[in-house]
Chains A and B, each alone.
Chain A
Amino acid sequence: MEIYLPNTAHLGNIDPFLKSIIMTEPTKLKISFHPKWVSVHPVVIALVASLGQTIRENKGELICAESKALSSNYLIRMGLFNFLGISPPRLVEEHESAGRFIPLKKINSDAKLKQFLDDLVPLLHLVEHPEQAEAIKYTVSELVRNVFEHANSKHGAIVCAQYFKTSNKVAIGIVDAGVGIQKNIDAVHNAPTDEEAIRLALIPGVTGTTVNAGGTENNAGAGLFIVKSIAQVNRNFFLLYSGNAAFKLKKTPESSRMTLHADPLADRHSSLTKLPYWQGTVVGIDISLDQTQSFASLLAKIRQFYSLEKSKNKLKERMKRPKFI
């Protein structure tokens, strides 16, 4: 396997990076870097860490080129070299007070997830952004719990996050090396390809646990739809990559009216196919801190779509409402 960390790979321009990964020779991993500057989304770092972990487990060979770029300090602080079990190219202060990031963590238990969620606000300095902090915590919780419940991943999820000042956003990467979406969804739905499985996984009401609409008592099949919707209503990117396909939600321009769809292929998106096969699932998401609307009003907007066409068929009027006392 070979992976090259390029000059830049964020969700908007991540496609060439994904296509460039070489998955042959699964017992060997070569990592190299752009010589001058590496600026990558946390999902890229989590993805490299996951591959490195698999190699270490299988007692394979890990060859990491020397990173001379000054920006490799970022990779060091994010814990990539420690995670890979190799010496970092130089010493840096692991978490200086001005840094706004969460280094790589392996989350494989309720307790570790709780710790991560507790650390999230102080480490990303989100005290002054309580509404966005709630959206970010919501997103991480739903995505990591998806890994716990559906991925059958021996090591749980590998997660890291970073605040980017110039774009004023928090970027999150969550990666697992589990069974992948297609195996999960195809167990109960007809999903012959990774592309179709990803589409189904993003449709509300579809879960790998039952054919019944609405899911089971433990799974509604709505988690990914709501997380994608949080990105969409915030006009941010969202990436879901599994097997040899990926769905990338594009940013909705400020000039465009916001529209949510049950079918993700009706969203403004790009579908990537014939990608190097990723055994497991990769999720990247950006959450802008520019948004001034409350998380509650964002959820209210999503709920309007969630109730879908109910207003048309009069069902909504007949719906029983919860009683808040």
Chain B
Amino acid sequence: MTTETIVRIFDQTGEFAEDKNKAKEMRAKEILPALERNETVILNFEKVNSTTQSFIHALISEAIKQKGIDILDRLLFKNCNQIVQEVVKIVVEYLQDPPKLSDLPTNDDENGHKASSFGKRI
């Protein structure tokens, strides 16, 4: 049976999870050691109203870089509202394929720059 470690984000950050120093602490003291012990880590965002990309990146990116993307099978996100879910998705997608400067075009246009190939309409 897999052991679980539950990390309660609200207890560390309050309802707006933005303090990266707290994220680093949770990463170093709870998340990475638990993953190292082959436990499942549940990041519980109960009572958290919002968060930032910087906070979530500081919280989970090192685990993904160290263990590979499949670590998401045992790094789970619980009680996330829509805002938190969107920020987590941004960070996870970004980590799997970060933009590269070399992908940007160098052709000139009227501004001296061409719209990036990354540009996409909504």
The residues of A with any CB-CB pair to B shorter than 8 Å are: 110, 113-114, 117, 134, 137-138, 141-142, 145, 189, 200, 203-206, 213-215, 217-220, 222-223, 226, 257-263, 265-266, 269, 271, 294-297, 299-310, 315-316, 319-325
Contact = CB atoms under 8 A, between A and B. Distances in A.
Given A260-B119, A303-B93, 16 more contacts: A204-B94, A217-B61, A220-B91, A222-B90, A223-B52, A226-B90, A260-B122, A261-B115, A263-B113, A266-B116, A300-B86, A303-B90, A305-B118, A308-B97, A308-B120, A320-B72
Given A217-B62, A263-B104, A265-B111, A322 B42 contact: no
18 contacts: A117-B16, A205-B101, A214-B98, A222-B94, A223-B52, A223-B53, A226-B53, A226-B90, A262-B119, A296-B83, A304-B122, A305-B120, A306-B90, A307-B97, A319-B93, A320-B96, A322-B89, A323-B72
B120 A138 contact: no
A54 to B, nearest CB: 28
Contacts of B112: 265
Interface string B50-84: 10111001100110010001101100111011110
B113 to A, nearest CB: 4
Contacts of A297: 82
A325 B89 contact: no
A305 B116 CA distance: 11
Nearest to A270: B111
Nearest to B83: A296
A309 B81 CA distance: 27
B39 interface: no
A137 B62 contact: no
Given A141-B16, A260-B120, A213 B50 contact: no
Which among B49, B72, B98 has the highest number of chain A CB atoms within 10 Å? B98
A220 B61 contact: yes
